[in-house]
């Protein structure tokens, strides 16, 4: 079969993929060597996409409650309830909450229906939680939401500042391009992050600032540049609008930044000495109560020094989701109308004339946090959620669940049947997923690429744009929604970007308004705005000048003795958001099997928290439980937890419960990374784990988390008091061993063929076997002996390879350290040559590099 070119399902790097279907539900994935975003590279998540295209857990039919229905019945109900609610309570009583994981065509149709035909601004997207501060900063500075850089700038820079970005884990292919460029031209890398991440470990300088110290830091850098004569007076005079007292107002406030003078001076020296500088920023900047100001502080530094619009220079906001950019472009944020237009009278008229619509939204709608508040208050009575899981991913998610539970009518368009959010839906609509859907996405550098169908649509599923259009027709808006295929929508969207544009907006795709179906199908990646949109020095403001926006550092949060820690939340390398897809991959599940709370050793000692124990983390909003990981990469007084675990996968790691619904005053983006919190030991007297062929429902109150294995599931368990083993274990032939002194119980359950179906290991004070061997015995036809199963290891054990770092070649951490020691390996390359680790997707290369350094350090100590 011929390879089909498409783009990755996951992050905003937007890597091209070359996919070959190998069966009904299987595909072979490689990087597309011709795609300009990745030139053939892929990270661990992209590489293992093939493990997630099966039908496990899929929503395959429209459902009303628990009843399977046909499309007519489901869509008549949706259209009827929305129309009725609008008739009785007005257009603002309904809302859509959509996602950067929709295609541009899906997004365009949803936006058109809400803003042009229903006539409300109430469509917001999970990009509110992700990009909206960067959007607001761009609009303030440039007059339009235009990203000024391209990935090539990272390769042409001499200095790269990463602000609040764990690039090695979250944008791994950008990271690989940065690493290659550092090697090629010796570019210096600075990481600005309160935590020492794997990204920070690889930096020339790690600036471990205090949470939300960024505005103070960039204002301080501006002051330092002023003092060193680093402002570009000619550039400012020609292209920048700068407040009169801006220069004089700048000062260096070290306590506000939270670093010492030596660290600040080291950074200021690098910045002053290196004009070719790119500042790349993501969630450590955006997800903050000062997120928009952070964006503008960064942009201010680039404008004042003229470091923008030239090769290797610029402020570069990178996007999270595969189509965060496409959503911004069509106008999927509640505060934008369409195609980079706002709500002026002229823009409203332009959109309405273009759509030939009966009405038009005249004002911005509710932003995500306000939207769910309005649902909770009963003001929004019908809500349609598409391609996002707000019951997990919104701040104060407990409140969001209450809002969903109270809402008169909730619709969810999903690919997965049982998500934490879909459980609240009255109607579930099955949508095409990655590999089935067909349309366009825009990546972080404005490249529009195609996602193409590789697999036939399973069950009754339909494209998101098709579902929305059908509902629009049933609401009586037939004329506006007669699309037959995605290309029809793309042509219309391209035409809209040019309609009454007259050069006012850089987003202008009107050259593609007449593209043929065949050319759309053959579409090659194309970048709007060009490599450097501001090369001419002209910006999208009325006078063409960029704006320096004076911003003040936020005050430090008031101390709260009940919640003395600052809680930071973020991502793991191999999991994607709420794990509805990556959680299905055994390989991706290996890197981090449980949600950890990272805490500094001094704090842990003070509070009686030990490595591997369970802790309860609480905020004013709620509490969650995590496995403790001591980390000197964590600043004292600060905690880090991952965002991925849901109620489907754990009893307590659901982080969405914790963050306060505090938002940036300009963008409305939640401040996910800085919430007052407390931490304490979770009292327990037993711990253990279970492997099972089927996922097991855990009905007792304990800590549990579940991870995917090759042939089943691994469930970790920690709790107190009695435990009803019979309730946990499936039926079958049981063998058992007990050790009263240590309070250890070991049980294995086999089926009639002798295959292992489940095994349980619990102990009060003893040791537990390693998880991998016994997990590997599930479903094995030539079963291990009973005594081996109860021991949890083979009679002839292979060396323990430790937690998997390289998921591509399945190489564990201990195996890598052994190779480093035994073969005296000193570089990531030689490790790769010796044991292959790190030679495919490259996502584990930072971890290998860290192991080399750590091993050298340990050996030096031993030898000293
Ligand atoms: N593996 C993986 N990759 C992903 C995703 C995923 O779920 N998994 N999701 C994608 C999406 S949608 C997004 S938005 C991106 C996010 O990509 P990133 O923004 O890189 O990811 P995060 O882990 O959310 O946060 C980045 C860093 O911000 C730091 N930080 C916290 N507070 C501050 C602060 O006050 N100042 C500074 N300077 N830094 C701070 C955190 O310590 C953290 O290391 O990743 C995308 N890629
Ligand atoms: N505490 C904390 N919370 C956060 C963040 C943080 O850093 N800290 N980050 C925030 C950010 S940046 C983001 S982007 C959000 C992400 O949060 P969510 O958007 O809630 O996370 P996902 O798990 O990606 O949810 C996507 C859903 O859409 C479904 N889906 C996938 N493809 C399709 C499709 O083609 N069509 C349809 N209809 N459904 C589909 C998936 O099964 C899944 O249920 O989380 C935010 N929440
Ligand atoms: S960096 Fe990884 S997750 Fe992101 S688009 Fe590329 S392959 Fe996909
Ligand atoms: Mo995101």
User: Which tens digit of pLDDT belongs to each residue from 256-272?
Assistant: 999 999 999 999 999 99
Cα 721 to averaged position of ligand 1 atoms, centre (Å): 38
Cα 45 to averaged position of ligand 3 atoms, centre (Å): 6
Find all residues with CB under 8 Å of 225, minimum gap 6, and list them: 231, 268, 271, 272, 301, 304, 305
Ligand 3 test: best mutation among 171, 199, 319, most atoms within 8 Å of CB? 171
| CB 441 less than 6 A from any atom of ligand 3 | no
Output the pLDDT for position 627: 96
Output the pLDDT for position 589: 87
Output the pLDDT for position 1: 63
Mean pLDDT, rounded, for 590-600:
94
Q: Which of 105-109, 179-183, 385-389, 585-589 has the lowest mean pLDDT?
A: 585-589
Domains in the chain, CATH or no CATH each: 4-52 (3.30.200.210), 63-128+323-527 (3.40.50.740), 132-317 (3.40.228.10), 565-681 (2.40.40.20), 686-791 (no CATH), 804-863 (1.10.10.1100)
Query: Does pLDDT of 390 surpass 90?
Result: yes
Cα 186 off chain centre by: 30
Query: Does pLDDT of 864 surpass 60?
Result: no
* Residue 411 near residue 426, CB atoms below 8 Å: yes
- For ligand 2, residues with CB inside 6 Å are 99, 101, 126, 129-130, 283, 287, 320-321, 386-390, 392-393, 413-416, 419, 431, 433, 437, 464, 569-570, 577-578, 580, 643, 655-656, 659, 672
Q: Which of 265-269, 669-673, 694-698 has the lowest mean pLDDT?
A: 694-698
Strands (DSSP E) along 415-551, which ranges?
A: 427-430, 439-442, 447-451, 526-527, 546-547
**Digit-coded pLDDT (tens) for 324-340:** 999 999 999 999 999 99
Percent of the chain with pLDDT over 70: 99
* Residue 32 φ/ψ region, left for φ over 0, alpha for ψ in the -120 to 50 degree band, beta for the rest: beta
Across-strand partners of 15?
Answer: none
Mean pLDDT, rounded, for 738-755:
91
Residues with CB under 5 Å of ion ligand 4 are 130, 320
| CB 670 less than 6 A from any atom of ligand 3 | no
**Digit-coded pLDDT (tens) for 122-134:** 999 999 999 999 9
Q: Taking the model in full, what pTM does it have?
A: 0.96
Q: In terms of pLDDT, which residue wins out, 652 or 93?
A: 93
Cα 858 to averaged position of ligand 3 atoms, centre (Å): 34
Mean pLDDT, rounded, for 183-188:
94
Query: Does pLDDT of 726 surpass 90?
Result: no
Query: Does pLDDT of 652 surpass 90?
Result: no
Task: Band the pLDDT of 316: cuts 50, 70, 90.
Answer: very high
The dihedrals phi and psi of 305, each to the nearest 5 degrees, come to -100, 5
Indicate which ligand has the atom closest to the C-alpha of 385.
2
Find all residues with CB under 8 Å of 127, minimum gap 6, and list them: 99, 100, 135, 321, 324, 327, 328, 332, 333
CA distances (Å), origin 740, targets 19, 729, 744, 745 = 55, 21, 6, 8
**Digit-coded pLDDT (tens) for 210-248:** 999 999 999 999 999 999 999 999 999 999 999 999 999
Cα 388 to averaged position of ligand 2 atoms, centre (Å): 4
Query: Does pLDDT of 632 surpass 70?
Result: yes
Output the pLDDT for position 207: 98
Burial 198-229 (b: 16+ CB within 10 A, else e): bbbbbbeebbbbbbbbbbbbbbbbbbbbbeee
Output the pLDDT for position 701: 86
Which parts of 320-441 fold into alpha helices (H)?
324-330, 345-355, 368-376, 390-393, 397-406
3-state secondary structure of 714: strand
Task: Band the pLDDT of 863: cuts 50, 70, 90.
Answer: low
* Residue 804 near residue 771, CB atoms below 8 Å: no
> Which pair of structure tokens corresponds to residue 396?
């104060």
| CB 15 less than 6 A from any atom of ligand 3 | yes
* Residue 445 near residue 15, CB atoms below 8 Å: no
Output the pLDDT for position 74: 98
DSSP string, 208-264: -PPTT-HHHHHHHHHHHHHHTT---HHHHHHHEE--TTHHHH----HHHHTS-HHHH
Q: Which of 37-41, 368-372, 629-633, 698-702 has the lowest mean pLDDT?
A: 698-702
Residue nearest to atom 44 of ligand 1 (CA): 166
Cα 26 off chain centre by: 25
């Amino acid at each position: 079969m011929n390879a089909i070119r498409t783009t990755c399902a996951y992050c905003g790097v937007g890597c091209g993929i070359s996919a070959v279907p190998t069966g009904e539900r299987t595909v072979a994935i490689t990087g597309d060597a011709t795609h300009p975003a990745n030139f053939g590279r892929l990270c661990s998540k992209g590489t293992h996409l093939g493990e997630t295209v099966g039908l496990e857990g899929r929503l395959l039919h429209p459902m009303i409650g628990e009843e399977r229905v046909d499309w007519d019945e489901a869509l008549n109900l949706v259209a009827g309830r929305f129309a009725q609610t609008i008739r009785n309570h007005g257009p603002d009583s309904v809302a859509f909450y959509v996602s950067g994981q929709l295609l541009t065509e899906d997004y365009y149709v949803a936006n058109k229906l809400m803003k042009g035909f229903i006539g409300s601004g109430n469509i917001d997207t999970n990009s509110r939680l992700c990009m909206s501060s960067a959007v607001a900063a761009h609009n303030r500075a440039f007059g339009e939401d235009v990203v000024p850089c391209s990935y090539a700038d990272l390769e042409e820079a001499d200095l790269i500042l990463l602000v609040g970005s764990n690039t090695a884990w979250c944008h791994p292919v950008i990271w690989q391009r940065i690493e290659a460029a550092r090697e090629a031209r010796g570019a210096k890398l600075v990481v600005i992050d309160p935590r020492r991440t794997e990204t920070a470990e690889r930096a020339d300088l790690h600036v471990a600032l205090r949470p939300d110290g960024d505005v103070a830091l960039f204002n301080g850098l501006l002051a330092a540049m002023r003092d060193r004569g680093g402002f570009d007076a000619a550039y400012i005079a020609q292209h920048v609008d700068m407040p009169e007292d801006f220069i004089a107002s700048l000062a260096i406030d070290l306590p506000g930044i939270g670093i010492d003078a030596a660290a600040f001076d080291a950074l200021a020296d690098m910045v002053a000495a290196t004009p070719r500088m790119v500042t790349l920023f993501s969630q450590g900047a955006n997800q903050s109560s000062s997120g928009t100001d952070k964006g503008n502080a960064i942009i201010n530094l680039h404008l004042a020094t003229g470091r923008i619009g030239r090769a290797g220079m610029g402020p570069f906001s990178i996007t999270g989701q595969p189509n965060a950019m496409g959503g911004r472009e069509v106008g999927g944020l509640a505060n934008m109308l369409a195609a980079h237009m706002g709500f002026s009278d002229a823009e409203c008229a332009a959109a309405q004339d273009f759509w030939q619509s009966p009405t038009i939204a005249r004002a911005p709608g509710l932003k995500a946090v306000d939207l769910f508040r309005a649902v909770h208050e009963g003001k929004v009575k019908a809500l349609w959620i598409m391609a996002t899981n707000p019951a997990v991913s919104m701040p104060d998610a407990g409140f969001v669940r209450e809002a969903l539970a109270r809402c008169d009518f909730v619709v969810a368009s999903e690919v997965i049947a049982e998500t934490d959010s879909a459980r609240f839906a009255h109607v579930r609509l099955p949508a095409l997923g990655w590999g089935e859907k067909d349309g366009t996405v825009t990546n972080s550098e404005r490249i529009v690429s195609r996602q193409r169908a590789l697999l036939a649509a399973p069950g009754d599923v339909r494209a998101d744009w098709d579902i929305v259009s059908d509902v629009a027709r049933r609401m009586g808006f037939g004329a506006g929604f007669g699309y037959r295929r995605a290309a029809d929508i793309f042509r219309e969207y391209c035409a809209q970007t040019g309609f009454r544009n007259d050069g006012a907006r850089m987003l202008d795709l009107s050259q593609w308004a007449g593209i043929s179906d065949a050319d759309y199908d053959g579409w090659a990646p194309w970048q709007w705005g060009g490599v450097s949109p501001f090369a001419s020095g002209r910006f999208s403001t009325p006078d063409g000048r960029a704006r320096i926006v004076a911003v003040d550092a936020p005050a430090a949060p008031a101390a709260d003795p009940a919640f003395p820690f600052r809680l930071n939340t973020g991502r793991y390398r191999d999991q994607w958001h709420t794990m509805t897809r990556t959680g299905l991959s055994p390989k991706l599940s290996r890197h981090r099997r449980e949600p950890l709370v990272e805490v500094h050793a001094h704090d842990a000692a003070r509070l009686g928290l030990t490595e591997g124990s369970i802790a309860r983390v609480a905020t004013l909003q709620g509490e969650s439980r995590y496995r403790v990981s001591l980390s000197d990469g964590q600043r004292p007084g600060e905690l880090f937890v991952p965002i991925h675990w849901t109620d489907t996968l754990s009893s307590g790691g659901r982080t969405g419960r914790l963050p306060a619904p505090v938002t940036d005053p300009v963008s409305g983006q939640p401040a996910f990374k800085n919430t007052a919190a407390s931490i304490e030991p979770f009292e327990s007297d037993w711990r253990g784990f279970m492997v099972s062929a089927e996922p097991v429902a855990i009905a007792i109150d304990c800590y549990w988390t579940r991870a995917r294995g090759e042939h089943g599931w691994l469930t970790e368990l920690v709790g107190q008091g009695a435990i009803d083993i019979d309730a946990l274990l499936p039926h079958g032939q049981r063998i058992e061993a007990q050790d009263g002194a240590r309070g250890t119980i070991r049980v294995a359950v086999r089926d009639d063929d002798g295959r292992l179906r489940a095994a349980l290991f619990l102990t009060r004070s003893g040791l537990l076997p390693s998880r991998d061997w016994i997990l590997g015995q599930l479903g094995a036809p030539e079963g291990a002996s009973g005594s081996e199963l109860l021991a949890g290891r083979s009679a002839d054990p292979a060396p323990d390879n430790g937690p998997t770092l390289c998921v591509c070649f399945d190489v564990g951490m201990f195996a890598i350290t052994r190779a480093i020691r035994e073969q005296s390996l000193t570089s990531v390359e030689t490790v790769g040559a010796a044991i292959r680790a790190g030679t495919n997707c490259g996502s584990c290369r930072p971890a290998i590099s860290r192991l080399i350094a750590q091993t050298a350090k340990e050996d030096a100590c031993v030898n000293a």
